[in-house]
Structure 1
């Protein structure tokens, strides 16, 4: 009976510990649409900064390269969505959305319609790219997503000559799902991959000019505590209690019976 009570208490502890971790996975509230950016950059250096959850719009011409940048931290799985509003009359067009990290390495999409072809005279085309989970650390030769600045590039890859220069509109939004401790690794970066953050040493970095100034609301969390430690500790407690309960249930089965004296 004691073993059953101990196991019940352990399960309750595990549920309480996992509660905050599950709450952290909820998406952050959207930014005020009134302050949403209404333009896009034309290169990596001029990319318009946007926060996650903040809608952004921009006007351009068919054939232009449109750039935005956003911060992504450890344990997040960003999803980039874009809608291109096409002119009333146009030929078939192919549009593509690409995502690059702070080292300008193109990141593969786990899934999503990264490239789509709009039929002639179609009013719009929608694109999406779900990145892999951002890791706190990776081997130098790997191409894993790491915490830092990410760049979104939107452009048309297949356009008829007659359609070049036609006006288009675009809506872009980035959201993330917090994966949590299941994606945690042992190790962390000395600095997030924010272009320009390491151009000056020591205390001067705080005043150094960087190419991307946005960061997560709570700061960069690379290498900090994660809910993986909660699950590890809870698993150790469960294993210990299971051992105690097993001993209590089996105690005395191998002891010889007492024979009353004659």
Structure 2
């Protein structure tokens, strides 16, 4: 009996030791091979960061709140689309897509059906939201979209109690249209509305174990090429072209109104 207990204990110890090694060798469940996220957060603080033009997926249950976050810069008009794959058997359900800015202010959709109802037995339901153009600067009392982090929340708002908890899967994609100088304003934010940006300084950062300085930014995502903060737009080009055309018009007008040269007052032969 004692030998049996010893062998059983040794086998159990080997199994516990091999368990973490096997877990470490498995791939991360949070992203695909191309880096696209495969899960969503459950709150603003745990929202999964995604890049624009990236297809994010997640699995959950009916009744869960699914959160993603992305970065939008001045001059962009974000278009958020979500598709929910429903279980085979279910009743009528209403799903809603909400978008919030870096201050967690709910942003209205310029157009798009952000609330959609799926009929009983429907395979999928789709929702979309096209935000207003992101402005480089705005009045403090206004609710205009500003450069920074944006949060996407997807959830069911009306479902039968029997459907709550049923497994679902969701796909979210964000694309933006560059509006250009027609949306430019005379001003820019000192910093984009990114959570934690107020403490992202060298004085507030703590050195890591390797001696490197790590800032306390809660969101690390930003647009390709960094934040422009509205300092450049094609309005500069049109302003320069307009100035050049005005100068040419002034020169032409002067040449037309000047007339022929004045006759000489000196009598001939003098």
Do the two structures share a fold, i.e. TM-score over 0.5? yes
Deviation at 1:243, TM superposition (A): 2.7
Q: Secondary structure at the match of 2:82?
A: strand
Q: Deviations over 1:45-84 (max 9, x none)?
A: 0000000111100001000000000000111110000000
Counting matched residue pairs gives 226
Cα distance in 1 for residues equivalent to 2:217 and 2:85: 32
Q: Deviations over 1:117-166 (max 9, x none)?
A: 01110110111100011111111110000000000000000111010001
Cα distance in 2 for residues equivalent to 1:222 and 1:200: 17
1:34 is matched with: 34
Q: Which runs of 5+ in 2 are unaligned?
A: 1-31, 206-212, 264-270
Superposed, which structure 2 residues align to 1:136-175 within 5 Å? 136-175=136-175
Q: Deviations over 1:85-141 (max 9, x none)?
A: 011111100000000000000000000011010111011011110001111111111
Q: Secondary structure at the match of 1:35?
A: coil
Superposed, which structure 2 residues align to 1:1-262 within 5 Å? 34-201=34-201, 204=204, 207-249=214-256, 251-252=258-259
1:23 is matched with: none
Contact 2:180 2:234 in 1 (8 A): yes
Report the structure number with the largest CA radius of gyration.
2
Q: Deviations over 1:226-262 (max 9, x none)?
A: 2211111111111221232344445539x99xxxxxx
Q: Secondary structure at the match of 2:59?
A: strand
Deviation at 1:202, TM superposition (A): 5.6
Q: 1:203 to 1:135 in 2, by over 3 A?
A: farther
Pairwise CA RMSD:
2.1
Cα distance in 2 for residues equivalent to 1:223 and 1:121: 47
- Tell which has more relative contact order, 1 or 2 (C-alpha 8 A, sep 6+): 1
Q: Secondary structure at the match of 1:198?
A: helix
Q: 1:194 to 1:232 in 2, by over 3 A?
A: same
Cα distance in 2 for residues equivalent to 1:203 and 1:145: 30
Q: Which runs of 5+ in 1 are unaligned?
A: 1-31, 257-262
Moved over 3 A (4+): 200-206, 246-251
**Superposition TM-score, scaled by structure 2 size:** 0.78
Cα distance in 2 for residues equivalent to 1:230 and 1:191: 25
Moved more, 225-234 or 114-123: 225-234
